Structure 1
Amino acid sequence: MRRPLLSTLAAAVVLVAGCAGAPEPSTIAATAVAPLLPGAEAITSAPAAEGTGSCDTEATLAPTTQPRPGAMPAGSAMAAIIANGRLRVGVDQNTYMFGFRNPSTGRLEGFDIDLAREIARDLFGDPDKIELRSVTAADRIPLLQEKKVDMIVRTFSATCERRREVDFSSVYYRAAQRIAAPRGAGIGNGAGLAGKRVCVAKGTTAAAPLFTLPTPPTVLGVTNWTDCLVALQQGTVDAISGDEPILAGLVAQDRNLEVVGDPIGAGAYAVGVPRGSDELVRFVNGVLDRARTDGTWQRIYAQHLSTLGPSQGPPVPRYVG
């Protein structure tokens, strides 16, 4: 009964012996290359920076007497929203702390999300009368122009260029733009980006300060800020530059990163609405005024942004009419 096994072993010995004198296969050297993320592209010219241009980027319309929830003036943009049964808001789902999808609950959460719910609360008397639509930074203005959303609450800063296309509320949050890099990478400030590859989100103003550095880095634009984190982990870029709370959210997801250097720019977030929506701008500013004075702003800061340090308080609005 053992002969078949012995025959098999013998054949294996012969096969190995026969291969012993054969030349070893040659080794082909290869270098692993991480492909660019879908939608990633080089940014070769600076967008308009925040605070530049001939306009007052923070000027906005003062609120008037705030209507009661559910009782909006006939013919107003707010009445149209009420008739639609829900507030359609463009938000982010990829920016930790401001707008992200909680993997445990599947719900969108963050500072911007809660602020949008406060607007729905003052419209309907119910913060859940809201439809949150995940949008990219590059799609914010087109969606407002096409009126596929009623407003954008997505770390959206007013610039003179953007103000020619949409309207803005008062500023509800200020942020400094900084740099995030791997610990020990030798990047400590803007000067350290010389000869490096830096990631930003397309459709934002984050690339602008990078082009003002003495030796501008190579800039890669991606769809979402989390794509920057992936690009950095894959070695496609050397650093990320964006607003400090956005970078802090990325660091919270990868402790090998750190935020470094002095600010190289600044951001001032406001709610974006379709151009010509004066009544809606005044209404949203009324909601923001309430949130500033009744403790709502401080509450949602403490809930979502406390890791950034003590709150400096909500920005003071700049009303011009």
Structure 2
Amino acid sequence: MTKTLRAGRAVRTLVATAALASLAACSGVTYAKTPLPTKPATSASKPPAAAAPVSCSNPLQSYDPLPSIPTASAITDGTLRKILDRGHLVVGTSADTYLFGARDPLSGRLEGFDIDMARAVAKSLFGDENKVQFRVITAGDRIKLLEQREVDMVARNMTMNCARWEQVAFSIEYYHSGQKVLVARGNPATTLEDLKGQRVCAPKDTSTLDNLKKVAGVIPVPADTHTGCLVLFQQGKVDAITGDDIVLAGLAAQDPYAVVTRAPAISDEPYGLAFNKDDVYLVRYVNRVLADMERDGRWTAIYNRWLAGALGKAPAPPKAVYGR
């Protein structure tokens, strides 16, 4: 090993140590759980009927938006009424996906594209974008916390697909991504196929890891988060990381030894905001918010604020598909 490589590994180890310290600091933060509604049991109570299966010929197809944003007093939907009476929205998100959902180390405030999406919904509901309680979750937490109603909404770069529609409901697509590969500078690999025999990290319980496991000869290494993958990469325990393009762009911005390859994305990753599958009215409300944001330019402004530096100026927003 050359002196330059040893020096580079030493710097990367220091970066990894700092990242671990940051994660440890974040883990001390506690988040209040959303209280679950209780209903007195009676001898005449019947078990709830099983939800009807969700038809899914197109995972991008969501529910029609409300015709307009109703006044708070006009909302009678049970789920949304409870949120309004509580006084804040509870949103599951990431704290370590730079540019999408990450904690500012100085202010401690969560910020990024997904965070601004959630704040826009809170602004519509309460007239105040700060009336949102963020709960930091892993990718593996997303579905179970929605099913358990511990969060009202998930804004955590979640890919829409038919299998997930069986478990949760999605808004219209609000961001379109694609799976790519991050390697160390000097690594000649550009695609996953070029990494046969090498260790490649992806977060647990993600479509990214599912796609990785389909590549013959690559050694998949799961981690709880993409930041966990970055730590393993900086420690030399994996040779590459795979993930959605914007996630990898955020990782590369934190490590001068990392680069996202120029190979085309190997998948389409349409992101949707996720909800309990029974909360159809809430999805329709949020679809109205997203449609208004796309029309009046707020979506473009948020994109340019967070992503233009890494990906260039905002494209047209993803085309909404309704009619579910």
Shorter-normalised TM range: 0.7 to 0.9
Q: Could you tell me how far 1:211 is from its partner in structure 2?
A: 3.2
Q: Could you tell me how far 1:70 is from its partner in structure 2?
A: 2.9
Instruction: Please show how residues 1-321 of structure 1 align to structure 2 within 5 Å.
Output: 55-213=57-215, 215-260=216-261, 261-307=263-309, 308-321=311-324
Given the two structures, how large is their TM-score scaled by the length of structure 2?
A: 0.80
Which 4+ residue blocks in structure 1 deviate beyond 6 angstroms? none
Q: Could you tell me how far 1:105 is from its partner in structure 2?
A: 0.9
Give SS of 1:253's match.
coil
Give SS of 1:167's match.
strand
**Is residue 69–residue 289 contact of structure 2 (8 Å, CA) maintained in 1?**
no
Distance 1:187 1:69, change over 3 A: farther
**Is residue 193–residue 218 contact of structure 2 (8 Å, CA) maintained in 1?**
no
Residue type of the alignment partner of 2:99: M
Q: Deviations over 1:95-134 (max 9, x none)?
A: 0000000012110000000000000011111111110110
Q: Could you tell me how far 1:208 is from its partner in structure 2?
A: 2.6
Q: Could you tell me how far 1:278 is from its partner in structure 2?
A: 1.1
Residue type of the alignment partner of 2:232: A
**Is residue 197–residue 217 contact of structure 1 (8 Å, CA) maintained in 2?**
yes
Distance 1:276 1:54 in 2: 16
Residue type of the alignment partner of 2:136: S
Residue type of the alignment partner of 2:189: I
Distance 1:219 1:309 in 2: 31
**Is residue 243–residue 266 contact of structure 1 (8 Å, CA) maintained in 2?**
no
Q: Deviations over 1:238-263 (max 9, x none)?
A: 00000000000000000211111221
Q: Which residue of 2 aligns with 1:9?
A: none
**Is residue 69–residue 122 contact of structure 1 (8 Å, CA) maintained in 2?**
no
**Is residue 97–residue 249 contact of structure 1 (8 Å, CA) maintained in 2?**
yes
Gaps of 5+ in 1: 1-33, 38-52
**Is residue 69–residue 121 contact of structure 1 (8 Å, CA) maintained in 2?**
no
Gaps of 5+ in 2: 1-12, 14-19, 21-54
The alignment yields a C-alpha RMSD, in angstroms, of 1.7
Distance 1:67 1:188, change over 3 A: closer
Distance 1:296 1:216 in 2: 44
Distance 1:189 1:306 in 2: 25
Residue type of the alignment partner of 1:258: V
Give SS of 2:201's match.
strand
Q: Could you tell me how far 1:212 is from its partner in structure 2?
A: 3.4
Residue type of the alignment partner of 1:169: S
% same residue: 37
Give SS of 1:188's match.
coil
Q: Deviations over 1:27-46 (max 9, x none)?
A: xxxxxxx9xx9xxxxxxxxx
Distance 1:192 1:72, change over 3 A: farther
Given the two structures, how large is their TM-score scaled by the length of structure 1?
A: 0.81
**Is residue 93–residue 101 contact of structure 2 (8 Å, CA) maintained in 1?**
yes
Q: Deviations over 1:131-176 (max 9, x none)?
A: 0110100000000000000010110112211111111100000011
Give SS of 1:60's match.
coil
Distance 1:99 1:144 in 2: 18
Q: Could you tell me how far 1:320 is from its partner in structure 2?
A: 1.0
Q: Deviations over 1:75-107 (max 9, x none)?
A: 332221101110000010010000000012110
Residue type of the alignment partner of 2:90: R
Q: Deviations over 1:286-306 (max 9, x none)?
A: 010011011110111111111
Distance 1:69 1:222, change over 3 A: farther
**Is residue 76–residue 279 contact of structure 1 (8 Å, CA) maintained in 2?**
no
Distance 2:204 2:188 in 1: 26
Q: Which residue of 1 aligns with 2:42?
A: none
Q: Could you tell me how far 1:69 is from its partner in structure 2?
A: 4.8
**Is residue 67–residue 73 contact of structure 1 (8 Å, CA) maintained in 2?**
no
Distance 2:82 2:221 in 1: 40
